[in-house]
Amino acid sequence: MKSLFPLLGVLFLVTTSHAQNLLQDPSFDASTPNSQTNPFWTLDVTFPDGVGSSAQYQDAPWASNPTGTPGVGVWLKAFEGNQAGGGDPLANATLYQDVTEAAAGEYTLSFFYRKEANFSAANTYVELLEDGSRIGLLDLTEVDTGGLFEQFSFNANSSGGTLRVQAKMVDGFDAQANPQSAMFDDFSLTAVPEPSGFAMLALAGFALAPLRRRKR
Ligand SMILES: [Ca+2]
């Protein structure tokens, strides 16, 4: 077994280095509950009636993934827009985190989204930006998650730079029927592994090692 262990070590390094989530606090645990304060994420909101925010970090089982488990998630409060049809402005919210000095290559962005039956906004989406330009998009406007958190993901190619993971609710409004919220949780941005020469060598060595031992 002696010859096998170094190779396993190499293989482990190759696989895990690529699977690392590049985002800090992906589950929003570091948030100040019921606020727009998080050390790693920015949450830009509006206050359509001057009091209630369009979104906040919410510490509640219905706001955190998996659905019904205690924790913190991002609560989109579309109903704050034009509340009760009273003519208030529409509700807008933007959540984002930047990953600086990202290497060129393909990335996978995944997240969990939960939409209640009557959540109403002109647009809801998650996008990946490279130095301010969109390189990937998942439009959630017409998505129905059946009231439960559901995982979504997409891939995008980057030539490197600052990657911004961004989620937006555009022009949310009061449907005057409950339930009518939406939530985000558990984001992940990972580099898609490339089959490098190094990894191929390790794999070849791993495959050959038992054969060599048997011949001795
Ligand atoms: Ca969470």
Q: How far is the CA of 159 from the centre of ligand 1 (A)?
A: 31
Q: How far is the CA of 79 from the centre of ligand 1 (A)?
A: 22
What pTM was computed for the model? 0.84
Those residues whose C-beta lies under 8 Å from the C-beta of residue 104, and which sit 6 or more positions away, are 158, 159, 160
Q: How far is the CA of 17 from the centre of ligand 1 (A)?
A: 24
Query: pLDDT of the chain along its 216 residues, tens only?
Result: 445 555 555 554 555 455 799 999 999 999 999 999 999 999 999 999 999 999 999 999 999 999 999 999 999 999 999 999 999 999 999 999 999 999 999 999 999 999 999 999 999 999 999 999 999 999 999 999 999 999 999 999 999 999 999 999 999 999 999 999 999 999 999 999 987 666 666 666 666 565 555 554
Q: How far is the CA of 60 from the centre of ligand 1 (A)?
A: 9
Q: Which residues have C-beta under 5 Å from ligand 1, the single-atom ion? A: 27-28, 64, 71-73, 185
How are strands ordered across the β-sheet holding 161-172?
A: 42-45, 91-102, 161-172, 121-130, 133-139
Domains assigned to the chain: 22-193 (2.60.120.260)
Q: How far is the CA of 197 from the centre of ligand 1 (A)?
A: 38
Measuring CA to CA, which residue among 93, 116, 91, 129 is closest to residue 181?
116
